[in-house]
Amino acid sequence: MSEMFWPGEHRAGPAMSDQALLDYLIAAENAWLATLVEAAVAPASAAAELDELVTAADLATVAAGSERDGNPVTALVGLLRDRAGADTARWLHRGLTSQDVLDTALMLCLRDAFTTLAGALDQQVHALIGLTERHRATPLLTRTLTQPALPGTAARKFANWLAGILDAVDTLETLPALPVSAGGAAGTLAATTELTGSAEAALALAGSWADKLGLAPAFPWHTTRAVITRTGDALVGCCDAWGHIANDIAAGVRAGELTEGSGGGSSTMPHKSNPVLTVLLRRTALTAPHLGATLHAASAASVDERADGGWHAEWATLRTLTRRALVAASQATDLLSGLRVDTARAATHQREAHGIYAEQQTMAGLTGRTPAAQYLGATDMLVDLVLQRARNHLKEAQ
């Protein structure tokens, strides 16, 4: 995958790459063939390890064939049938349609990505717990609409970021289990019913396929695309949380209160240490929502029993959104792990901010009480509540 147009692209590794998709297309076909054999729908002589019939050199052939047929599955099945024994060639892919295989392969790709993403989010939770605890008493001016507002603490700022990350985690964890797609040519399981002799047996066969792949059985979803849009929304939600953090850090860097652990250089100004990770996270947060919107537009464009373009618009969009989220997850982890606070400068800014105790004086006038030495309200309690939520999550994740 190119790294020139999207600095940090390498951090996503093989996730959602062409090779990963090809591997999972083969895995889906392989598991279906094994399911047919185990159910005695296909003869034992049809059994084969289909991955042994394809090499990385075949990737370009399958990709080129995908334009001819509108998707890569038909080209792959043709290649497998050319290289397989007669019984294998006769039985592989029987009962499936290209959308079943491609949608199922995408779910397998997403499963890998979600595993990586969950690990990164947990690392960020750990990092933010550490920052919050270390800076419990560090003064940090609050700002609203860019202006000084009230006295605050760095701990409250970091706890707010932590709550956003935990919200993203909650969204991911409440997603339904990733499903197989097993509808057949028109979403009716007609071919599988014909092969097995009954609708009940056809549904059981689809369930066995799901078990083999470690996915969930599901009602055919060829043109009911909530599986895709919910996934996209969860990924965008993660990018939103990182964008909020990046925006706050950018403002803190400008004020001299926050510093990245390892800033980037300038080609012409050697004195600079640019907040590069912060900038790259903001970039992702700016572009992710549009990718999510494209997935919704594609879903809304579904028609009949197989979509004529909406489905096709999803693949690259989902890949791009997923890979960018993985890149951002890695960058956010590094950013939070190395973030530094200039406690002296932060304290000075709060001490010198004009008018930040005006509300306190008004409240004291209304109540008749002597103004407290600090005006932090329920800050400590709010911080404790978020920290407890974070620790509960980490305990449950063990």
- For the chain, the domain total comes to 1
Residue 359 lies in a domain: yes
Can you tell me the distance from the alpha carbon of 266 to that of 7, in angstroms, rounded to the nearest whole number?
A: 15
CA dihedral sign, ordered 240, 113, 287, 299 = negative
| Residue of 266, 340, 351, 391 marked catalytic | 266
Whether 302 sits among the annotated catalytic residues: the reply is: no
What is the span of the domain harbouring residue 102?
9-397
Residue 1 lies in a domain: no
Whether 266 sits among the annotated catalytic residues: the reply is: yes
Residue 258 lies in a domain: yes
Residue 111 lies in a domain: yes
Residue 3 lies in a domain: no
Can you say how many angstroms the Cα of residue 180 is from the centroid of all Cα atoms in its chain? Answer: 19
Residue 274 lies in a domain: yes
Question: What's at 133, amino acid-wise?
Answer: E
pLDDT in tens, the chain (398 residues): 567 999 999 999 999 999 999 999 999 999 999 999 999 999 999 999 999 999 989 999 999 999 999 999 999 999 999 999 999 999 999 999 999 999 999 999 999 999 999 999 999 999 999 999 999 999 999 999 999 999 999 999 999 999 999 999 999 999 999 999 999 999 999 999 999 999 999 999 999 999 999 999 999 999 999 999 999 999 999 999 999 999 999 999 999 999 998 765 544 444 446 899 999 999 999 999 999 999 999 999 999 999 999 999 999 999 999 999 999 999 999 999 999 999 999 999 999 999 999 999 999 999 988 888 889 999 999 999 999 999 999 999 88
Can you tell me the distance from the alpha carbon of 69 to that of 390, in angstroms, rounded to the nearest whole number?
A: 49
Residue with tokens 């999550």: 393
Q: What's 301's domain CATH number?
A: 1.20.200.10
Six token digits for residue 301: 């464009």
Please list, residue by residue across 112-149, b when 16 or more beta carbons sit within 10 angstroms of its beta carbon and e when fewer do: bbbebbeebbbbbbebbbebbeebbebbbbbbeeeebe
Six token digits for residue 291: 């990718």
Can you tell me the distance from the alpha carbon of 259 to that of 86, in angstroms, rounded to the nearest whole number?
A: 65
Residue 109 lies in a domain: yes
Residue 210 lies in a domain: yes
| Residue of 134, 306, 337, 389 marked catalytic | 306
Alpha helix (H) residue ranges in the chain: 18-38, 59-69, 72-83, 86-91, 98-134, 154-173, 190-196, 199-213, 226-255, 276-300, 310-338, 343-352, 358-367, 379-397
- pTM, two decimals, is 0.95
